[in-house]
Amino acid sequence: MRLMIAPVPSGSAARRVFWLRSAAAVMVVAAVRGGSAPPNDPAPSDAPQHNGFRFSPGTCEQGSEFCALATPRAWAPAEIALVRAALDEIAASDLGRWITLRARRNGFVTLRRFAHAAELDAEGRYGVQPMIVATTHTDAGHDTRTIDLTDRFFERESARDHFSGEPGYLLTTEILAHELVHAVDLRQQYSGTAEFGRVARLGMPVTRQRDADRVNLERERLNGEGRYEAAWEASRSFGIVSLRGRLPSVQALDSYREAFAEFGAHLALDPNARRRFEPRLLLFFERTVSEAP
Ligand SMILES: [Zn+2]
């Protein structure tokens, strides 16, 4: 049977539906700030903080073209409260606490607020990415490290997952955990290994891959209509029903990087994840945590 491994259909509609992904691969040459300005410190010192993270307004290191599209915002008090609660919920589990610590140790301590996500296209010009709600950002030299949240992230404020028990995690909490796992996986030190490739098993028979493509189009439609819980349910159903729980969601199929973030976020937040994932996948995460320097 022919296998397809994490295909990225070039330029097709399917490419655009992956709204949850890191921009770590986006090589952005940030404007170098002068002299001895410390890296990872775009936030003013009086910015609100929580559990080692700083709430910074959007900043413009990526240049004026990026900034004009992404549109920096200030944090509203209710938004800070939502993210504080999400950080607490993530840190309530052992794995979530480890993820939080490692993300911070990798220099991701700044949470920025923008209206939109903007990414470079093939011609090197920025474009707004309406399906991306959060981004783990590093520039080319990895001097600037931030997690950026958009208006669309906050539109999901009360939406919940219905496969993780009652009441189920908030989608915003999972999205933030997913980004923190990207921050742990800096330079794909975990998701880029041959061992993770073996345990993640992203190879799909062609017919199953077509199912995944259909689900992604459905998600794009539902998210475009603001039906976030229904879009999430479609994604989760693919992993939990079609694949009998082996993958947490359809977006895990986007790439090994995305799979690592989705597995990690669900192991931290979903009490059902441990009995659904394959034993060797669980072992991989246990070893990752126990052997980390
Ligand atoms: Zn991602």
How do 49-50 and 3-5 pair as beta strands? unpaired
Distance (angstroms) between ligand 1 centre and the Cα of 2 equals: 27
Contact 226, 131 (CB under 8 A): no
Looking at every residue in the chain, the average pLDDT score rounds to: 86
- Cα angle 92, 264, 247; round to 5: 130
CA–CA separation, 280 and 191 (whole Å):
15
192-216 pLDDT tens trace:
999 999 999 999 999 999 999 999 9
Rounded CA gap, 74 and 40, in Å?
18
Distance CA 29, CA 270 (A): 37
Confidence check: pLDDT of 36 > 50: no
Task: Tell me, in angstroms, the distance from the centre of ligand 1 to residue 34's CA.
Answer: 31
Q: What is the pLDDT of residue 62?
A: 87
pTM for the full model? 0.85
The C-alpha angle 273, 107, 83, rounded to 5 degrees, equals: 55
Q: How far is the CA of 70 from the centre of ligand 1 (A)?
A: 18
Burial of 290 (0-12, 13-18, 19+ CB in 10 A): exposed
Peptide bond between residue 167 and the one before it cis (omega within 30 degrees of 0): yes
The CA 179 to ligand 1 mean position distance, Å, reads: 6
Give the CA dihedral 46, 51, 52, 58, nearest 10 degrees: -60
Kindly give the distance from the C-alpha atom of residue 182 to the centroid of ligand 1, in angstroms, as a whole number. 7
263 and 252 Cβ atoms separated by less than 8 Å:
yes
CA of 278 to the centre of ligand 1 (A): 21
7 pLDDT exceeds 50?
A: no
Q: Are the C-beta atoms of 173 and 157 separated by less than 8 Å?
A: no
- Residues lining ion ligand 1 (Cβ < 5 A) are 20-22, 258, 261
Could you give all domains of the chain from N- to C-terminal order, each with its CATH number? 14-30+44-291 (3.40.390)
CA distance 185 to 158: 28
Pick the closest to residue 173 from 54, 276, 93, 115 (CA basis). Answer: 93
Contacts of 56 (CB under 8 A, 6+ apart): 42, 43, 44, 47, 110, 111, 112, 113, 146
User: What was the pLDDT predicted at 18?
Assistant: 36
Please name which of 189, 171, 122, 118 lies closest in space to residue 148, comparing C-alpha atoms: 118
Ligand 1 centroid–CA 257 distance in Å is 7
Q: What is the mean pLDDT of residues 129-158?
A: 91
CA of 170 to the centre of ligand 1 (A): 17
Q: How confident is the model at residue 170 (pLDDT cuts 50, 70, 90)?
A: very high
In the chain, pLDDT over 70 holds for what percent of residues? Answer: 84
